[in-house]
Amino acid sequence: MGRIHLLPPHEALKIAAGEVIDRPAHVLKELIENSIDAGATTITVFIEDVGKQLIRVVDNGCGMSEDDAELCFASHATSKLHCVDDLEQVASFGFRGEALASVAAISKVKLITKQHTADESVPGIAIDYSGVTLQQRGVIACGVGTDIQIRDLFFNMPVRKKFLKRDETEWNALQSVFTAFCLSHSRIHFKLYRDGACVINAPGVIHERERALQLWETDIAHGLLPLQNDQTVHEDVISITGSLSHQHVWRYGRQHIYFFVNGRWVKNNELAKALMKGYSGVLPEACFPAAVIFITMDRKFVDVNIHPKKEEVRFAHPGRLQTMLTTAVKRTLEQHVTRTLSPVSAPLSQPQISIPPQSSIAPMPTIFPPQFFTSMPPVVSSVSYNVVPPVVHVQTQPEVLQPTFTIVGQLFATYLIIEKEDAIIFIDQHAAHERIVYEKMKQNYTVQHGVTLLFPEIVALAPEQINGLLEHKDFLIQQGVEFDILSDEKVVVRSAPPQLKNVAIAEFMRDVATFIHEHATLDTNLLGTTLHERIHAQLACKTAIKAGDVLSHEQMKKLIEDLELVDNRFICVHGRPTMWRIEKSEFEKKFRRT
């Protein structure tokens, strides 16, 4: 007798369903999508035991007729297309008519529905399924819309059930799906209940930002900036809109990053990298922004069928899209900082400074004794004493229309003070110089052979960090970093990139190891970029002038001039501001001159 036999149809369906539906979050996604397609304006979700016990979605959409209520669980049952040609039309939503059939094959389903055309007195329909088998059908008093309850997910597929992740991981996945729909459909009223408690209640709003306020912590939601993008129209009509958090708020995970392509939530590594590239040098290491990005483009340039759950997409021109995104992010952040620093006038740009001959140096102003100001509010007291000499006034050439500014001096041997137009600008000399060095290094960095360390350095690391380093050993050698394992908790570094030779190598190795460890799947491009950024940041920090260094007038002038010319000049490598300003009007208010 042959060994091959055909699986019974219900077993085949179950296996196929298990392939498509792999976790509670995916069921939730299919159900909410159906509610949205049904035109619902209110969607309420109840989750029990992170979806293993119950996933219930109640909507006020169009509901189903008696026949449809039963038919919707059949394979290839859909009201959304009639033939393969229609598929093109709804391509962005992937293959049609499989979701409910799959869900019903691997759970116990209750469906209660009533069509909006039915007159008030007509009852709704209630249907129970268990693993594809119709258990019961009857009538029930209910409102218009659909209430679908999925219980005991994977009850007949213990293997699948075993592969579910930790409860919090499954819950996070459910919450991400829910949040994504909230963000992309801000006019719908969404509610989410977890084990009986309401965790999100988001009535419909018009503006995305209000939606973010309903969903996220206020620092994130208030910190959102509209994406500045003047390249919205391309030959292929790609548009990118949305909002981003500014450089002073971040999280240690990616849970606030959402991309939507033609209205549909997608995951795409390349887009995520392009976003982070826009933030490079602005956020601290291993920190992530909040971003809600909507990309709209002709459907023929997007392939959604590379992933069974349609969560991933492939673009016809990925490079162009990524560059657009990075540029838009950079522009948004730049403009934001410029705006906050220069509420009235343009940012410091192309100043024309000239140094006066020594003789024209202004005499030192009278410096008030510190206690004179100690009771004043901080804004004033911070500029009022300990002005370190020499206080040099440098006037720009008195040409008409030329912007002018004056170097007032150095404060606490740490901050430079400039008078410009109707404001006073404070510059943190270390932060500013660090940014300058970093940007220059970024431009000029070339990978070089490592130099052998005279005294090889022993670095203590966790075993898993050492494993991470080992995985990338060849790559690290190419970058000039050579090391050997001493024990399962120690490595010895034998060579380092020449640029790093005077810098704490242990710190550098720990940084790299931590980074590798935190990014379970890491491509060498990203590692390379990060490694270089670490090298630049380390060097910039070590070589930049320090707080406490007294600067000559020449040095101050050079610093300000250099700062003018670098990218990201408003923020230091660690995300702190390099400068801030106080308007003259502020002073006038304090002294009651207005």
CB of 335 to ligand ADP, least distance (A): 42
Question: Which residues are bridge partners to 352 per DSSP?
Answer: none
Beta strands (DSSP E) in 115-256 are 124-130, 133-140, 145-151, 189-194, 197-202, 224-226, 239-245
Beta bridge partners of 130: 108, 133
Q: Which does 78 bind (CB under 5 to 8 A by kind): Mg ion, ligand ADP, none?
A: ligand ADP
Identify which of residues 78 and 156 has a Cβ nearer to ligand ADP in the complex. 78
Q: Does residue 447 bind ligand ADP (CB under 6 A)?
A: no
Which one of 17, 20, 27, 72 is in contact with ligand ADP (CB under 6 A)?
Answer: 72
Q: Is there a contact between 178 and 192 (Cβ–Cβ < 8 Å)? A: yes
Minimum CB–partner distance for residue 54 and ligand ADP (Å): 16
Q: Measured from the CB atom, is 96 or 542 closer to ligand ADP?
A: 96
Stretch that binds ligand ADP, among 99-107, 308-316, 455-463, 469-477 (CB under 6 A): 99-107
For 377-390, give one letter per residue: b (16+ CB within 10 A) or e. eeeeebbbbebeee
Backbone φ, ψ for residue 502 (5° rounding): -100, 10
Q: How many CB atoms lie within 10 A of CB 366?
A: 5
Stretch that binds ligand ADP, among 97-105, 262-270, 382-390, 570-578 (CB under 6 A): 97-105
Minimum distance, C-beta of residue 125 to ligand ADP, in the bound complex (Å): 12
Report which of 568, 594, 579, 593 is spatially closest to residue 282, judged by C-alpha positions: 568
Shortest Å, Cβ 34 to Mg ion: 4
Choose the binding region for ligand ADP from 78-86, 246-254, 393-401, 539-547 (rule: CB under 6 A). 78-86
Binding residues for ligand ADP, rule CB under 6 A, total: 22
Cis geometry, peptide bond prior to residue 365 (ω within 30 degrees of 0)? no
Applying CB under 6 A, among 146, 243, 410, 578 the residue interacting with ligand ADP is 146
- Between the CA of residue 463 and those of 5, 487, 564, what are the distances in Å? 49, 9, 45
**Torsion over CA of 565, 566, 572 and 577, rounded to 10 degrees?**
40
Q: Which stretch binds ligand ADP (CB under 6 A): 62-70, 214-222, 436-444, 463-471?
A: 62-70
Binding mask 104-143 for ligand ADP (x = CB under 6 A): ----------------------------------------
Which residue, 64 or 353, is less far from ligand ADP as judged by CB? 64
Tally Cβ neighbours within 10 Å of residue 423. Answer: 20
CA distances from residue 441 to 427, 479, 540, 575 in whole angstroms, order as listed: 21, 16, 8, 18
Per CB under 6 A, 147 contacts ligand ADP: no
Least distance between ligand ADP and beta carbon 14 (Å): 16
Q: Per-residue x/- marks for ligand ADP, 20-59, CB under 6 A?
A: ----------x---xx--x--------------------x
List of residues contacting Mg ion (CB under 5 A): 34, 99
Nearest approach, Cβ of residue 48 and ligand ADP (Å): 20
Joined tokens for residue 448 = 């070089």
Interface with ligand ADP, residue 61, by CB under 6 A: yes
- Cα–Cα distance, 93 to 79 (Å, whole number): 14
Query: Which residue number, 81 or 462, has a Cβ lying nearer to Mg ion?
Result: 81
| Shortest reach from residue 99's CB to Mg ion, in Å | 4
146 binds, among Mg ion, ligand ADP, none (CB under 5 to 8 A by kind): ligand ADP
Pairing of strands 54-59, 387-388: unpaired
Q: Kindly report the CA angle at 566 between 561 and 572, in degrees rounded to 5?
A: 100
Location of structure tokens 């759970």: 107
| Residue of 78, 179, 429, 479 that binds ligand ADP (CB under 6 A) | 78
Between the alpha carbon of residue 157 and those of residues 18, 153, 401, 571, the distances in Å are 8, 9, 77, 53
| Residue selected from 99, 290, 313, 424 as contacting ligand ADP according to rule CB under 6 A | 99
Q: Which residues lie closer than 8 Å to 66 by C-beta, 6 or more apart?
A: 125
77 counts as binding ligand ADP under rule CB under 6 A: yes
Binding window for ligand ADP (CB under 6 A); candidates: 45-53, 60-68, 321-329, 455-463: 60-68
Taking each helix axis from N to C terminus, what angle separates 167-184 and 24-37, rounded to the nearest 10 degrees?
Answer: 20
Nearer CB in complex with ligand ADP: 68/583 = 68
Minimum distance from residue 89 beta carbon to ligand ADP (Å):
13
Residue located via tokens 């522009």: 331
Cβ nearer to ligand ADP, comparing 124 with 347: 124
- How many angstroms separate the CA atoms of 490 and 412, rounded? 42
Nearest to 253 by CA among 281, 295, 286, 223: 286
Q: Which does 535 bind (CB under 5 to 8 A by kind): ligand ADP, Mg ion, none?
A: none
CB of 98 to ligand ADP, least distance (A): 6
Give 124 or 480: the residue with its C-beta nearer to ligand ADP: 124
- Listed as own residue / partner, the contacts of 163-171 with beta carbons closer than 8 Å and 24 or more positions apart are 163/22, 164/23, 164/24, 164/52, 165/23, 167/49, 167/50, 170/23, 170/24, 170/25, 170/50, 170/51, 170/52, 171/47, 171/50
Q: Which is nearer to ligand ADP, 70 or 457 (CB)?
A: 70
- To ligand ADP, the closest distance from the beta carbon of 66 in angstroms equals 13
Residues in contact with ligand ADP by CB under 6 A are 30, 34-35, 38, 59, 61-64, 68, 72, 77-80, 96-101, 146
